[in-house]
A and B are shown apart, each in its own frame.
Chain A
Amino acid sequence: MSSRSITEIANETLFDKLSARSLKDIERVTKQVQGWAVSPLLTVALAVVTRTVGQEQWHAGSTAIVDRATPSNANFDTVLERVANLVQEAEEDGAVSPSDHAMAETRRLLRATFSSIDFIFPRASAMSDGRGWVHLYWRKADRMVQLVVPADSSQLAYIYHSDGEDYDVDPGVTASKLLLWLDWFANA
């Protein structure tokens, strides 16, 4: 096994398949990979495996985690967790659950946006409604960005945004568009 392939395997394992975004997950995965003891080359490879997540570089070392969880990643994890909890919360309330489409599309947009963000991912609140739609809210004093994802693909997701007395809707959400709005929200 070449060192290149080991690097690829480690990279993929650490950051893609297991979604090791939080410190806890990275520690767990690192221990798991060390436990495999496949080859001395693997630990060497792990020491140099890096992957850029925005401006933060995540480093997995053979004996220690070099970087710790960043606020950006922690916030992103929190938002994903809040989205995931919507189904159970709706069930507990005896309310309409968010649709599978709305959940999947929301997650897809979040992950695609996060993969190219170069500032700290802002925390959002998640809500579902009686239509099975998902709403994400980024709010601060005078500024708000709201991602609205309908229950099925017959209606496009959109972004409602407000800044003081100005407000409008930006229809048809893509990851790059959401990124621009989050930049507008976070870096005003």
Chain B
Amino acid sequence: MSEASNETDSSYEALLDDATIYRLARRSSVVDKENGTFLPGAFLLEPDEEGLSVFPTETCTLTYAIQKILGKCHGVNILQVGDTRTLPVEGVTLDVVRKEDPMHPGMHAEIVGLPYIEDDRIRANRAAELLANASQRVWRRGEPIPEA
């Protein structure tokens, strides 16, 4: 397993602390069947990811996030960038940087600095738990789209 990208490339613009970002649920199982919250697993790095995909609300509308980004979106949560940077996990420093996605120009960013669970399961799971707790539910599949 390669190291996750935990440094900010100079070509990647860091988002401001007060910026907000959407995190989308690609898998239905990351949404808690009891209460619709995101399970911590929604914030675990997948093996093929270097950072967690997120979409700044400044450039990506909720409608676009729900309808255009994933083939099937199961839910959207929102996070404040500053909360990710101050996540209290010793040895883990997160940042949120723009990372261009040709499919969605100007709309994509990543939370970088997360360890993989294969490499550091304690910190990876703790960071995922705290990110889930720091995020707020915005939309779940089956609900009307607030902005529509």
Q: Report if A169-B125 is in contact (Cβ < 8 Å); known contacts: A94-B71, A130-B46, A135-B41.
A: yes
Which residues in chain B, 10-48, are within 8 Å of chain A measured between CB atoms?
26-30, 32-34, 39-41, 44, 46-48
Q: Beyond A158-B121, A160-B121, is A92–B41 a contact (Cβ under 8 Å)?
A: no
Closest CB-CB distance, A164 to chain B, in whole Å? 11
Size class of the B contact interface (CB-based, 8 Å): 20 to 34
Q: Could you tell me the dominant secondary structure of chain A's interface residues?
A: strand
Bitwise, B58-99 to A at CB < 8 A (1) or not (0) is: 000000000000011010000000000000100000000000
Number of A interface residues in the complex (CB < 8 A): 29
A127 touches B30 (CB 8 A): yes
A contact residues around B122 at 8 Å (CB):
160, 167-169
CB-CB under 8 A from A128, the residues of chain B are: 27, 29
Does A123 count as interface, using CB distance less than 8 angstroms? Answer: yes
A126 to B121 CA separation, bound complex (whole angstroms): 18
- Interface residue A9 (Cβ < 8 Å from any Cβ of B): no
A158 CA / B40 CA spacing, docked (Å): 16
When distances are taken between beta carbons in the complex, the residues of chain A under 8 Å from B134 are: none
Tell which of A13-21, A32-40, A82-90 binds the partner: A82-90
Choose among A93, A148, A169 the residue with the greatest number of B CB atoms under 10 Å from its CB: A93
Contact A95 B26 (CB under 8 A): yes
B117 in complex: contacting residue of A89, A139, A148, CB < 8 Å: A148
Q: Verify if A119 is at the interface (C-beta below 8 Å from B).
A: no
- Whole-angstrom distance between the Cβ of A34 and the nearest chain B Cβ: 36
- Contact among B32, B48, B88, B129 with A125 in the assembled complex (CB-CB below 8 Å): B32
A129 to B41, CA, bound (A): 8
| B126 interfacial by beta-carbon distance below 8 Å | yes
Other-chain residue from A89, A94, A131, A162 in contact with B29 (beta carbon distance below 8 A): A89
Cβ-defined contact, B34 with A125, below 8 A: yes
A68-125 contacts to B (CB < 8 Å): 82, 86, 89-90, 92-95, 123, 125
Name the residue on A nearest B123 (C-beta): A167
B44 touches A129 (CB 8 A): yes
CB neighbours of B72 from chain A (8 A): 92-93
A89 CA to B29 CA, complexed, in Å: 7
C-alpha spacing A125/B44, complex, angstroms: 16
* List of A residues within 8 angstroms of B34 by Cβ: 123, 125
Find chain B residues with CB under 8 A from A139 CB.
32
Asked if B28 and A93 sit within 8 Å, CB to CB, the answer is yes
Instruction: Give the complex CA separation of A6 and B48 in angstroms.
Output: 57
Asked if A144 is at the interface (CB within 8 A of a chain B CB), the reply is yes
Complex: A185 Cα to B46 Cα, angstroms: 28
Apart from A127-B27, A148-B125, list 12 A-B contacts with CB within 8 A.
Answer: A93-B26, A93-B72, A94-B71, A95-B27, A127-B39, A131-B47, A137-B32, A144-B129, A160-B121, A160-B126, A167-B122, A168-B122
Closest 6 CB pairs of A and B: A130-B46, A160-B125, A127-B29, A127-B41, A125-B32, A89-B28
A-B contact pairs, 6 of them (CB 8 A): A127-B30, A129-B27, A130-B47, A130-B48, A131-B47, A146-B40
